[in-house]
Structure 1
Amino acid sequence: MTQTPPGGHDGPYPAPVEVRGFTVKPEWIDYNGHMNVGYYGVAFDLALEEVMVEHLGLGGVQVEATGEGPYMIQSHLHFLRELREGEPFYYRLRLLDADGKRGHYFAEMFAEADGALCATQEGLFINVSHATGRSAPYPEWAAARLARMVEDHKSLEPAPQIGQPIGIRRKQAGDHRPMA
């Protein structure tokens, strides 16, 4: 396995990393007239891949060079505003934590026209060997880059969606607050 990074750079990394140039495709529209829930996941994945390749030298270029690559093992999406066909949008991504095999990130999707927050994704990925199908430690260069990005992003204000549980919120007796 190569110890030479197949791309990316050693930092410093923008805080957060911004990824632009996305537009809602016609095939992403569902019967409700907005972007289908599944395509939010696809779009977040496209943005994550760009950050992986352009900044960290991971993702597809890592698979080609080392036979290892990131697998998503957990993801939590919040849908905050719908996107329509042809609407441009962009992302801001921050790396929250990383260790020798895993990375924990948070990404936000914004409408290009008005800057409205449309969705968020919190995710956990792990490095996997394609030869064994099992998790594998990152090469030293990758672990160092992930640690640097975590350090560069640690001063960002925490987003309210990070770490939120999923479930039905129930009104308690005597609670007169409106349900969100």
Structure 2
Amino acid sequence: MTNPLSGHDGSYDAPIEIRGFSVPPEWIDYNGHMNVGYYGVAFDRALDHLMDDHLGLGEAQVSALGQGPYILQSHMNFLREIHQDALFWFRFRMLDSDQKRGHYFAQMLTDDGELCATQEALFMNVSHSTGRSAPYPDWAVARLARMVRDHANLDPAPQVGLAIGIRRRDQ
């Protein structure tokens, strides 16, 4: 299988918007807002849409190729609470890519456009038969590179590349 089963070759919106999400009751914790763990679930579901609808690297390709994207590293920032039944959506930008990996930044926004969380992540294509990294097919490498180029002129986001740690005023 050398041809994509879904997605498209670009051009890609800058940023790509993924819409149509709401907070189900089971995602609410004892603080009365969406539990921290479900932010990861929400970002992952939005990433599935990006992979399927735009890059063609989603479930159909995984079934056909026996390989797919694994998240290697992720850093989330929680900026605003989100509550039950709230509508939210995502903006994605591809920051970098190579033969096996992609580096993206995503923003979760409320229905009224307020930023509530961000995720910066690195993913790698992994063979399901070997459990090791595998190069993407040429068409996928080209799509990832095109998305990086199409997103290159977006304004930098302040959360990209942040280190984690306690900031002290006296140091």
Q: TM-score range by the shorter chain?
A: over 0.9
Q: Does 1:15 align with 2:37?
A: no
Cα distance per residue 1:79-134 (max 9 Å; x no partner): 0000000000000000000000000000000000x211000000000000001010
Who is 2:78 aligned against? 79
Letter of the structure 1 residue corresponding to residue 107 of structure 2:
E
Count residues with an aligned counterpart: 171
Cα distance per residue 1:11-60 (max 9 Å; x no partner): 00000000000000111000000000000000000001100000000021
SS state of the match for residue 105, structure 1?
A: strand
Tell me the TM-score normalised to structure 1 length. Answer: 0.94
Could you tell me which runs of 5 or more consecutive residues in structure 2 were left unpaired when the two chains were aligned.
Answer: none
Q: Distance in 1 between matches of 2:64 and 2:96?
A: 24
Who is 1:172 aligned against? 170
Who is 2:152 aligned against? 154
Q: Does 1:31 align with 2:33?
A: no
Q: CA RMSD in A?
A: 0.7
Could you tell me which runs of 5 or more consecutive residues in structure 1 were left unpaired when the two chains were aligned.
Answer: 174-180
Q: Distance in 1 between matches of 2:125 and 2:131?
A: 10
Structure 1 residue ranges, 4+ long, deviating more than 6 angstroms after superposition? none
Who is 2:119 aligned against? 121
SS state of the match for residue 12, structure 1?
A: coil
Letter of the structure 2 residue corresponding to residue 44 of structure 1:
F
Q: Distance in 1 between matches of 2:124 and 2:58?
A: 11
Who is 1:55 aligned against? 54
Identity of aligned residues (%): 66
Q: Distance in 2 between matches of 1:36 and 1:74?
A: 20
Selected match of 1:140 from 131, 138, 141: 138
Q: Distance in 2 between matches of 1:62 and 1:158?
A: 31
Q: Distance in 1 between matches of 2:107 and 2:60?
A: 24
Tell me the TM-score normalised to structure 2 length. Answer: 0.99
SS state of the match for residue 120, structure 1?
A: strand
Q: Does 1:5 align with 2:4?
A: yes
Who is 1:101 aligned against? 100
